[in-house]
Amino acid sequence: MGEITDGFLEAITLIITLNPEIMEIAGRSLYVSSLATIAAALIAIPIGAVIYYYDFRGKRTVINIVQTLYALPTVIVGLLVYLLVSNSGPLGSLKLLYTTNAMIIAQVILVSPLIVGLVIAALSGLDKEMKYTTMALNARAYRAMLTLVRETKFAILSAVVLAFGRAIAEVGAVMMVGGNIRHFTRTLTTAITLNTSMGEFSTSIALGIILLTIALVVNFGVNFFQHYNGRMKDD
Amino acid sequence: MTDIISVSGLSKSYGKKEIVHPLNFSVKKGEILVIIGPSGAGKSTLLRMLDIIEPASKGEITLFGEKVTKHSAHDLRNRMGMLFQKTVLFDRTVEENIALGLSYRNVSREERQKRVKTILEEMEMSEYARRSSRTLSGGEGQRISFARVLVTKPEILFLDEPTANLDPGATRLLEEMILHENRVNKTTIVITTHDQAQGQRLADRVAVMIDGTFVQVGPADEVFYHPANESVATFVGVQNIFTGVVRNGNAVFGGVVFCPAPRIPDGIVQIMLRAEDISLSKREIDAGHISVQGRVITSERSGAFLHITVEAGCIFTVVCPFRQTGDTYVSGDRVWIGWRTDAVHLV
Amino acid sequence: MKKVLRVFGVFLILLAVICAAGCVSPQQQEPTQLKIATTTSLYDTGLLDAVQDYYLENYNVDLLITSQGTGKAIASAKNGDVDVLLVHSPSQEAAFIDEGYGVNHRGIAYNYFIIVGPADDPAGIAGMTPEEGVAKLKELGDAGTEGIIFVSRGDNSGTHSAEKNIWKSAGFNYTAQITGSGPWYKETGAGMGDSLTTSGQLGAYILTDEATYLTYKKNNNLPLEVIIDEGASLLNRYSIMTISPAKYPDTNVKDATDFTNWLISEEGQNFIGAYGVEVYGKPLFTPMSTLKDSTLPPFNIDCKTPVVMPTA
């Protein structure tokens, strides 16, 4: 019990005094996961819209696969990206291994299926007539998709935030492709893993508190948006 | 007058199930064709195929004299518009909603604003321009949706049960707008409804669609008073339908002579008689009518009308205005019912 | 609605500022970078973090240190993903060099593995040689004696290799007789620190390097004591290798050579020898240069001759 409270107090101290190493790690986590989430959103939202919009053979199967990939294990993504960007891999010449860029790539792969799937789900929640209306108003396909995506902006924003949560909380992939290098690729989760195995529990707790705080702030943000949206609808 | 829409062998299947059986028909420029039929008859699917929103499984559609193909679809659709039963409003302001089709057509901003302003003025809804679409009532929403279609100046309008979710007042308003659009702009209109009265109010021509096929096409009165078969008759609200016989030049069922049938050979005949065309009285009914005596079985009020079933050789359903009957009818009363022989329709 | 989007925009900008602040660390005239793969048990002692700070300040070379299990560390070295390999597994090092991946092999430090266990030593193996000790544990374990547990890393790490060597010299066939032989033998598949914690929770015996043990003992009151700390098979030798430019011509051989020479220099050796004294009261590593002749068994490695930059 004492260990936990001591660790907690020390953790609070580390945070309040803005311990530079911890702030640096938190900043890097935010940087990597934000960029990865934005990149994933830019890739995944159009893909989701296209899958929703067009009727094609095997559509159901594609959606099933996408949904299965929600649970894509982070270490598998890590391994895949590692093999791709390793010096002896096909993209070895880009010298991406053990860089934040490699971590961003891994997280993009990790969270894109989640965004694709949730975008499809959000769009499928619209009345069928809404899609018909865009067609009847003679929108080109991309204009129609833009209109429909805009119509589901709150649901899609929630999806993106959920993806950010998965990105910033994952450890397996960034550990493998980032290498947890101090001052370069160490993030909140890899630092927690390291400090725990070094027995530095208080540092781990401090980092954990920061991670939880980020998750909380982000979730409050989403709830605020959803609440706002819901209130408008009730008016 | 030329055919603006012409369809041959048009059908639609989902999997193995054919929803719309092969259809052949045409619509003239400036005409209002009302397609009536029960839910699930394939009316909406047909309209979507005509507006090139849904691909046809088989057959051919010609619009404005041009065959519908992948290449011509976009240009053809530019000259048409469609409104749905379910009001579709995007989560934006009213004016943004109305301008949507224009912005898809890359109409300039000033032109868009001008045309939206004009149409809102015509509809006397100018004060709605900046309101969020979420604040509209059902009727207002459907009128704005209609404005969104009209502002693109369509030459053909497809209206899929546009008033099905509206109250009578809002229905009347929208119907006036539809007729106005047809008269002023000579817009060709194809509208579906399951409300036969609406069909009568709007139609130049009525097509009855049942189970994916046109059972009868013709002027409204013809469909209502001379239904082609029992299922059309049932749909257009003929309540007295008997399978009788023609014998000695008379149509007979249940011992009742309905009317003379001099030109019909002896044999089985469908006898149809609208409930509204039967008079009901406690006294014998004047000459010029077929008159039968019977006994009231049930009597029920429905709004301003009385629905009465009478046993007189067979069971008749009679509808009469409640206030005009003067008399009250209860089960067991002895009554006379009568009808003019030309009210009977034989198939 | 617009207001909400504006608030969201401000939030995004703030986020970006925080990110930027976090990522731009003060740097004087672009240090060069040297990539090092090492094992968790070495990295977890914190020695390399200290070396990293010191080396950047004095030589303007950034050491990018990634710590993995020995197997993964050697694999990334074989893939050419790093410039230098820093491990403690003589047999795997030898194979690595034989296959032509490594050059400039130098010993830098050593310490001893120790067998730690519950203070009351339920197996009564204190004072035995490592081989006698493990044999006794196996005997009691096979007999199902209450409270006899041995925890193994089970992850092909350097420590795990050392453990397998002890079983071998005690006369057992590891695969046939030890691994999976009963509930008394538990493999964690985890790093040294995690395995020690597990061992402490179970009240089990475990083979560990001394440095990690001391770190853990100090930081989290690990309830384990040193039971056996003498025996030739307990030697734990740390060495450095440069990835051969013949295999990967684009690695940073210059900094690799300089860093190797710094580690075996007097300055480097003193740095290693001094690490940990302040905190643990004794050094965590013994510099290799304190030996009279490190090329003799059981060390078998050069630690004095400066290396020259290899060429492809």
Question: pLDDT tens across B3-12, in order?
Answer: 999 999 999 9
Task: Name the amino acid, one letter, at C295.
Answer: T
Question: pLDDT tens across A3-40, in order?
Answer: 678 778 888 888 889 999 899 999 999 999 999 999 99
Taking 50 as the pLDDT cut, the residues of chain A under it are 233-235
A194 contacts in C (CB within 8 Å)? 43-44, 67
The answer to whether residue A55 neighbours chain B at the CB level (below 8 Å) is no
Question: pLDDT tens across B282-297, in order?
Answer: 888 776 788 888 999 9
Return the pLDDT at C21: 47
Residues 6+ apart with CB under 8 A from B296: B308, B309, B310, B329, B330, B331, B332, B333, B335
**Structural domains in chain B plus CATH codes:** 3-89+136-234 (3.40.50.300), 240-346 (2.40.50.100)
Question: What ipTM was predicted for this assembly?
Answer: 0.87
Return the pLDDT at A235: 39
Return the pLDDT at A233: 47
Return the pLDDT at C15: 53
C222 contacts in A (CB within 8 Å)? 199
Q: At C119, is the secondary structure helix, strand, or coil? A: coil
- Band (pLDDT 50/70/90 cuts) for residue B326 is low
Query: CB distance C79–A26 less than 8 Å?
Result: no
Return the pLDDT at C193: 83
Q: Which residue of A has its CA nearest to C21?
A: A27
Query: CB distance C216–A199 less than 8 Å?
Result: yes
Question: pLDDT tens across B100-135, in order?
Answer: 999 999 999 999 999 999 999 999 999 999 999 999
Question: pLDDT tens across A84-93, in order?
Answer: 998 888 998 8
**Structural domains in chain C plus CATH codes:** 31-111+235-290 (3.40.190.10), 116-234 (3.40.190.10)
How far, in Å, CA of B116 to CA of B95, rounded? Answer: 6
Task: Name the amino acid, one letter, at C14.
Answer: L
Return the pLDDT at B114: 96
Return the pLDDT at C44: 83
Nearest to A198 among C44, C66, C82 (CB): C44
Whether C113 contacts C234, CB under 8 Å: yes
Question: pLDDT tens across B136-170, in order?
Answer: 999 999 999 999 999 999 999 999 999 999 999 99
Return the pLDDT at A218: 87
Return the pLDDT at C14: 55
Q: Which residue of A has its CA nearest to B132?
A: A232
How far, in Å, CA of A113 to CA of C24, rounded? Answer: 31
Question: pLDDT tens across B47-90, in order?
Answer: 999 999 999 999 999 999 999 999 999 999 999 999 999 999 99
Give the dihedral sign, CA B70/B75/B79/B80.
Answer: positive
Query: CB distance A138–B84 less than 8 Å?
Result: no
Residues of C with CB under 8 A from a CB of A: 1, 4, 8, 11, 15-16, 18-23, 25, 35, 40, 43-44, 46, 49, 52, 62, 64-68, 76, 79-82, 190-194, 197, 215-216, 218-222, 248
Return the pLDDT at C216: 84
How far, in Å, CA of C242 to CA of C244, rounded? Answer: 6
Return the pLDDT at C225: 95
pTM: 0.83
Residues of B with CB under 8 A from a CB of A: 48, 51, 53, 74, 77-78, 80-82, 84-86, 88, 90-91, 100-101, 104-105, 132, 134-135, 145, 148-149, 152, 158
**Structural domains in chain A plus CATH codes:** 2-234 (1.10.3720.10)
Give the dihedral sign, CA C33/C39/C44/C48.
Answer: negative
Distance from CA of B81 to the nearest CA of A (A): 6
B77 contacts in A (CB within 8 Å)? 135-136, 138
How far, in Å, CA of B136 to CA of B148, rounded? Answer: 15
Report the neighbours of C using a cutoff of 3 or more CB pairs below 8 angstroms: A
**For the residues of C55-99, what is the DSSP string, one character each?**
HHHHH-EEEEEEEE-HHHHHHHHHTT--SEEEE--HHHHHHHHHT
pLDDT per residue of chain C (312 residues) written in tens, 0 to 9: 455 555 555 555 555 555 454 444 444 578 999 999 998 888 988 899 999 999 999 999 999 999 988 888 999 999 999 999 999 999 899 999 999 999 999 999 999 999 999 999 999 999 999 999 999 999 999 999 988 999 999 888 889 999 999 999 999 999 999 998 889 999 988 888 888 988 998 999 999 998 889 888 887 778 999 999 988 899 999 999 999 999 999 999 999 999 999 999 999 999 999 998 988 888 989 999 999 899 988 889 999 999 999 987
- Which of these, C24, C52, C206, lies nearest to C125 by C-alpha position? C206
Q: What is the 3-state secondary structure (H, E, C) of chain B?
A: CCEEEEEEEEEEEECCEEEEEEEEEEEECCCEEEEECCCCCCHHHHHHHHCCCCCCCEEEEEECCEECCCCCHHHHHCCEEEECCCCCCCCCEHHHHHHHHHHHCCCCHHHHHHHHHHHHHHCCCHHHCCCEHHHCCHHHHHHHHHHHHHCCCCCEEEEECCCCCCCHHHHHHHHHHHHHHHHHHCCEEEEEECCHHHHHHHCCEEEEEECCEEEEEECHHHHHHCCCCHHHHHHCCCCEEEEEEEECCEEEECCEEEEECCCCCCEEEEEEECHHHCEEECCCCCCCEEEEEEEEEEEEEECCEEEEEEECCCEEEEEEEHHHHCCCCCCCCEEEEEEEHHHCEEC
